[in-house]
Amino acid sequence: MNKTKTFTIPTKAGTDVIDITSEVSKIVSDSKIKSGIACVFVAGSTASISTIEFEPNAVKDLKRALDKIAPENGDYEHHKTWGDDNGCAHVRACFMGPSRSFPFEDKKLILGTWQQIVLLDFDTKNRERKIIVQIVGK
């Protein structure tokens, strides 16, 4: 069996980190699939899905680390291609990837106590993001 569900999330310019655990959990518990894999995917080349202990200070630490790899105010070759200003967002998103997969049992995600599922939007303008949750199991 499988089930595809989509939801959208408004995001703010800059690296916006948003807890989407409750949305994903609800999709998993509302489906008729008891156990399996939930693939959480964000459409777009400047955003990612991951997990973190979602509290403001850990998010600050994450942003500082991202700035080491791809600084927000750096020079990017990509800016020459289309006149864009979001080169850092493309690099960050490629590193972290567009999807993470999660096991579930009895219609419940198997997460650690402090482990939340987050959307990371690295883009330099406000966006409306489409998240796809694809559930496969039985």
Both structure tokens of 134: 């694809």
3-state secondary structure the chain: CEEEEEEEEEECCCCEEEECHHHHHHHHHHCCCCCEEEEEEECCCCEEEEEECCCHHHHHHHHHHHHHHCCCCCCCCHHHHHCCCCHHHHHHHHHHCCEEEEEEECCEECCCCCCEEEEEECCCCCEEEEEEEEEEEC
Does the footprint of a second copy cover residue 50 (CB under 8 A)?
yes
Does the footprint of a second copy cover residue 7 (CB under 8 A)?
no
Does the footprint of a second copy cover residue 123 (CB under 8 A)?
no
Tell me which of 9, 96, 107, 124 binds a second copy, using CB under 8 A.
96
C-alpha angle 123-66-133 in degrees, rounded to nearest 5: 55
Contact region with a second copy (CB under 8 A), list: 8-16, 23-31, 60-68: 60-68
Contact region with a second copy (CB under 8 A), list: 7-15, 21-29, 63-71: 63-71
Does the footprint of a second copy cover residue 1 (CB under 8 A)?
yes
Both structure tokens of 68: 């080491």
Does the footprint of a second copy cover residue 53 (CB under 8 A)?
yes
Nearest approach in angstroms of CB 89 to a second copy is: 10
For a second copy, the binding residues (CB under 8 A) are: 1-2, 4, 35-37, 39, 41, 43-45, 50-53, 55-58, 60-62, 65, 68-70, 76-81, 87, 90-91, 93-105, 110-112, 114-116, 118, 132-134, 136-138
